[in-house]
Every structure is written in structure tokens, then in C-alpha cells.
Structure 1
Amino acid sequence: MGLMSTLKLFTFFVIFLCLSVQLEAQLQVDYYESTCGIAEYIVKDEVKKAFFRDRGLVAGVVRMHFHDCFVRGCDGSVLIDSTSSNTAEKDSPVNKPSLRGFEIIDNAKTRIEALCKGVVSCADILAFAARDSIEITGGFGYDVPAGRKDGRVSLASEVLANIPAPTFNLNQLTQSFANKGLTQEEMVTLSGAHTIGRAHCTSFRSRLYNFSSTASQDPTLDASYAAQLKQQCPQANNDPNLVVPMDPGSPSTTDVGYYSGIQANRGLFTSDQTLLSSPATANLVDQNVNNEDLWQEKFAAAMVKMGKVKVLTGNAGEIRLKCRVPN
């Protein structure tokens, strides 16, 4: 190889290395340290106030971050309000009944804007708030790399195809997460977010009544648990606002009770109970039950990875002045 060819190859390698480092550096821990060092403290304070007002709100924030990242990436698009000419993500039939806690993000943003105008993105505030929600319910705290920019587009029509449904089987669930660059193990790990919060009866009612031509209820559902759910979600009552806790034993605590429930055939959604349908995922469920600290560590790592899905950085996107409205 001649000198010129060697130099060209070396130059290409250096450029590639620099680009790789730049991509890795797009999101950084303590990103706002010099520009708005108080931002994460404000978010944590708003999460804390919300938790003591209504413990269920923080579960809504964790779900909101997940639903944000799975549609258009973690760009805060789930926070945008609908207009007369556009139905936004939050008003999709998938999101509208289940997402709550928007006021936590609004309150944090208002306080941050008063101190550091136009510096901290709504997408980052949501990622911080999800972390703080996990921590305040007993989960491990973790560092959140920041530097996300906010998206300008939010379309309800994009939600259904991107958010995994509660009726998904294992293959569908695995593929849904793979589409976002997440492994099957990370899917099982992140499913543990169902350890906190609530579910609407409409999302699992089909497991209780007229399940199939041969079974009135889902045979994979523990019979006594099914009887309890039928009392909470009567067949004659189609109120869309009826809810039950996802993990009845500890609905406000981030723990492995969710996985213990699955072992006992008490996974609320089909997409929960399906984690026992293969040896590989059933083994992960068992591991999580047997080593809660390990699951907490894996969950924190998986949340960080999910928080990097298709982020907007640099000149892409914007810093919204109000989280509900693009600038």
C-alpha cells in the first residue's frame, strides 16, 4: 500500500473515530451542570410533591416516558396538546385513558424556565421525572444522560403501530421492542415497570368474559385472581374509567412483586403472562424474583438505553418554551 493510500486510510479512520465519539457524546450525564445546574433538583422536587399528593401519578410518568420513546423516539412529542387541525399522541385511544402526570412536567418546566430560559428540553425533563418516579417508589436511582431536543410533530395516528398492546403474545412483544433496538431480555426487564400503577378494565376484560368458544375466561389466568377481577370489573359495567392495580400486593412500590405475580399466573395483561410462554423468558422471570437487586440494576440500565431511542440532538429539534406547544 502506497503512502498516499495509507494516509487516506488513516484520515478516514480518524474521521470515523471522531464521529463515533461525537455520537456517543450527544447525550451526557450532568449535561446542564454549567447552564442550569438546578434543573434536575427542580424535577425531583415536583415528582416528590406529586407523589405525596397522589402516589399513582408517578407510575403515569414512567409510562409516559415509555410511550414517548416508542413513538418518534424520546423527543417529548407525547407532551404536545392537540389542536383544531391535529390530534396529538396524548389523545390517541391508546394513550388518552392511561397517561397522566402531565402537570408534573408542566410545573417543573415553568420553574426551570423562570431560572434558565430556553435551556432545558421537555424531553429531558420527562426522562429525569421517570427516573425520579422509579427512585421515589423504591427503585434504584440512576444517572440520566441528557441533551435531547424536543420534536415539533405529534400525531395520534402513529401511536397504535408503535406501542405494544396488552394483548400481545411473546413474539409480538419481542418484535415491538426489537424495532426500537431493545433485546428480549430488556423487554422482560422493562415489563417490570408494571410493578407500579393501574390498568383500565377495558385493557384486559377479554380475559375475563367470553374468552373463546371453549373457555369463558383465559385458562392461563389464576382462577381466584380472575374471580377477584370480575368483582372489580363487572361484565355489566362498561365504564371506561374502571381501574385496578397492576400489582395488587404493592401497587406503589417498585419491586419484583410483578414477576412473582406472573409466576402465580396473576399477570394482568396477556402481554404480562406471556413472559412464561418460553423457557428463556420464564427463566428471566425466575431470575428477577430470586435476585431483586440484579433486576433493579438491569432495569436502571434498560431505562437509560430506552431513553436514547431516536433522540434529537444538536440542531435537530428545539427547546420548547412550553411543553404542550411547539415554539
Structure 2
Amino acid sequence: MSSTMPKAVAALLLTTFMLLLTTPPAAFCLSTDFYAQTCPRALTAVRAVVRGAVTKDRRMAASLIRLQFHDCFVRGCDASVLLDNTTTTVSEKGAVPNRRFTKTFRVIEDAKSTLERICPGVVSCADIIAVAARDASASVEGPSWDVELGRRDSDAAFASLAASDIPTPKDDLNTLIALFRKKGLNSREMVALSGAHTLGTAQCLAFRDRVYGNVTVVKDVIDPDFARKKRRMCPASGGDRLVQPLDPVTPTSFDNNYFKALMIRKGLLVTDQVLFSGGETDGVVDEYSKDEGKFKNEFAAAMVKMGSIEVMTGSDGQIRRTCSKAN
């Protein structure tokens, strides 16, 4: 560095250089106005499709929010979850955690078709998933947030990771914390994101063992009357696809009743109740059960953070013309 260069300028250049080395690439590539010039109507178009789908079936809000989680937890937020089987790729759609998304996939494809008419080849399927999750939340009295955009799509699916990296309904607390930490999310963010279970339903297959007392993780942490009621709705054998709400009070509205249910031992899934069963996350559940605003704010922040997991940007990946197949 030149000896004649003013020390202040030299210090500024050095600081800038260090920031370039330490700032993640996504911070330069993802932005809330990514499509402002190339497709200014993109967000409005996606919102219209999502609102139409949720108006037709309010349960769709839960599925659209959950879809982003299932996408981002498998090799990052790259829309790999939307790819169909090919001769070289086994689809993630067949993995157990993703088998209930059939109608949800169609909503994303509808949004993509709309965008391809407006601005072909511009908006990624990964970004559509992220925007749809935000709009789904807002459509059922949930929080909204600024979605950072600029993700690119994968040209391959990762079926084996869909089976291993997405939590199962029977995981214990330590397993959950480890799975979220692997993706860069701490235990508080894990609880906030689990709050998405304030919406939607679970199939009998996912909660049968819990209500019949066949799991040791939270065997005694269940309200007896709640267990008896759920047993009437879920036979000891058969009826695997019968569903029950994850939030027993307001299953189609985004609020904090899910956490209130955990406080009185009425979590439907093992992975719900372990959040409040004498472990390190009890305090967070207690906070959210008392302060809906705090829950909504932290949920929104956690969704933004989750949406940046292992994203592809710039010239990596591709912009799929159809979300279900690579170009």
C-alpha cells in the first residue's frame, strides 16, 4: 500500500476488503427488490394466486408455509422439492414428509404459469415458494415480512436427504435441536418455526403412538382427556389418513394457541410436546404462549433466516420454466 496514501483512506479500504471476505455471498445477491426492474408485477401476481387458493381452502395456508420449510431443509432453498421423477433423479415428492403436498405443488405451478406469461424465464420457483409462504401467513392473520429474493433453482432432487434432514413427528428434543442447528438455526428459532403448527392438521399415523402411550419420549406428558378424545378419532389400527388439527382451538388462524396447548399437555405430535416437557425450550414456549406479538415477530425473523439456507444465486443453478422439471 502506497506510503503516500492517507491513513484514513487506507483503513477504509482495509475494512471494506475484510467485509468482502467475511460477508456471505447471499448477502450481496438476495434483495427485497430483486425483480423491481425485470418483473415488477411478480409479487402481486403470486399474492393473487395464493389468496385465491387460501380462499378456496383455508388449510392451504399451512401447506404453503410448510412447503418452504421442507424445501430449505433439503440442500437449501432451491425448489428441489418440486421436481418430478426423471431417468436420472428420484423426486423428493415421494418422501414421507412430502406426500401431502400434491395440491400445494399445484398452487406453486399456477403461480409459475402466471409469471411465465408476464415475464418468462425471470422468476425462480425457489423465490415463488418463499413469497407464497409469506403471503399464506398474511392471509390467515399471521405475520408478514420482507422476502429477500434472487434464489436460483436446482436441476436435481435429493430424495435421500428429504428422508433424513426433515424432522419426523416422533423426534425427541435433542434430535430436533441438532437438525435445526445443522441448518444454522438455534433452539429459539426452532420453537418459533414450530409455531407454524398453529395451522393445519396431522394424519393419525403421525400421532397414534403418542395418544396411545406408546412413546417413551413424552409418554406421561399428555392430558388424559385429550388423549382419550384423540383415540376416538384415531383407531389403534387402520385409519392412518384420518386427520386432527395441530392447534385444537383455532387450527385455521395464525395465533399463539398452539403454544397454549403445549402448556396444558395438549400437543398433538411428539415433536410438538417435546418443546414443553422439562427441556431447554420450555421458557420460549411459555413466552410465546403469553405474548402473541413476540411469537409473530420472531416467527417472521426466523422465516427470513431460514429462507437464506444454502441458496444458489448469480449464475449458479437455473431459472426453471416449469417448476416440476429442470430446463
TM-score, structure 2 as length reference: 0.92
| Paired position in structure 1 for 2:253 | 253
Shift of 1:23: 4.1
SS at match of 1:244: strand
| Paired position in structure 1 for 2:239 | 239
Unaligned runs of 5+ in 2: none
Q: Structure 1 residues 250-259 or 151-160, which shifts more?
A: 151-160
Alpha-carbon spacing, 1:277–1:325, altered in 2? closer, same or farther (3 Å) = same
Alpha-carbon spacing, 1:11–1:96, altered in 2? closer, same or farther (3 Å) = same
CA distance in 2 between counterparts of 1:40 and 1:134 reads 15
| Paired position in structure 2 for 1:283 | 283
Number of matched residues?
323
Q: 1:67-126: CA deviations, max 9, x gaps?
A: 000001000001111235532111112321466411111111001000101000000000
| Paired position in structure 2 for 1:116 | 119
SS at match of 2:98: coil
Alpha-carbon spacing, 1:298–1:10, altered in 2? closer, same or farther (3 Å) = closer
- 2:72–2:306 CA contact under 8 A, matched in 1: yes
**Residue 35 (structure 2) pairs with residue 25 (structure 1):** no
CA distance in 2 between counterparts of 1:321 and 1:294 reads 39
Within 5 Å, give how 1:181-260 maps onto structure 2: 181-209=184-212, 211=214, 218-236=219-237, 238-260=238-260
Q: Identity percentage over the alignment?
A: 39
Q: 1:155-211: CA deviations, max 9, x gaps?
A: 211112100111111111111100000011100111100000110111111113361
CA distance in 1 between counterparts of 2:186 and 2:25 reads 25
CA distance in 1 between counterparts of 2:325 and 2:231 reads 41
| Paired position in structure 1 for 2:307 | 307
What's the RMSD between the two structures over aligned residues?
2.4
| Paired position in structure 2 for 1:83 | 86
CA distance in 1 between counterparts of 2:309 and 2:13 reads 30
- 2:64–2:132 CA contact under 8 A, matched in 1: yes
Shift of 1:277: 2.8
CA distance in 2 between counterparts of 1:269 and 1:23 reads 35
Q: 1:196-249: CA deviations, max 9, x gaps?
A: 011011111111336169xxx93211111111111111113x233211111121
| Paired position in structure 1 for 2:148 | 145
Within 5 Å, give how 1:50-69 maps onto structure 2: 50-69=53-72
| Paired position in structure 2 for 1:107 | 110
- 1:192–1:259 CA contact under 8 A, matched in 2: yes
CA distance in 1 between counterparts of 2:243 and 2:25 reads 45
CA distance in 2 between counterparts of 1:303 and 1:234 reads 36
SS at match of 2:97: coil
1:15 to 10, 14, 17: 17
- 1:201–1:243 CA contact under 8 A, matched in 2: yes
SS at match of 1:159: helix
SS at match of 1:191: helix
CA distance in 2 between counterparts of 1:39 and 1:64 reads 20
- 2:213–2:220 CA contact under 8 A, matched in 1: no
Unaligned runs of 5+ in 1: none
Task: State the one-letter code of the partner of 1:70.
Answer: F
Task: State the one-letter code of the partner of 1:48.
Answer: R
CA distance in 2 between counterparts of 1:297 and 1:11 reads 37
| Paired position in structure 2 for 1:74 | 77
SS at match of 2:239: coil
- 2:83–2:323 CA contact under 8 A, matched in 1: yes
| Paired position in structure 2 for 1:127 | 130
- 2:153–2:318 CA contact under 8 A, matched in 1: yes
CA distance in 1 between counterparts of 2:235 and 2:101 reads 20
Q: Structure 1 residues 172-181 or 153-162, which shifts more?
A: 153-162
Task: State the one-letter code of the partner of 1:124.
Answer: D
CA distance in 2 between counterparts of 1:210 and 1:223 reads 10
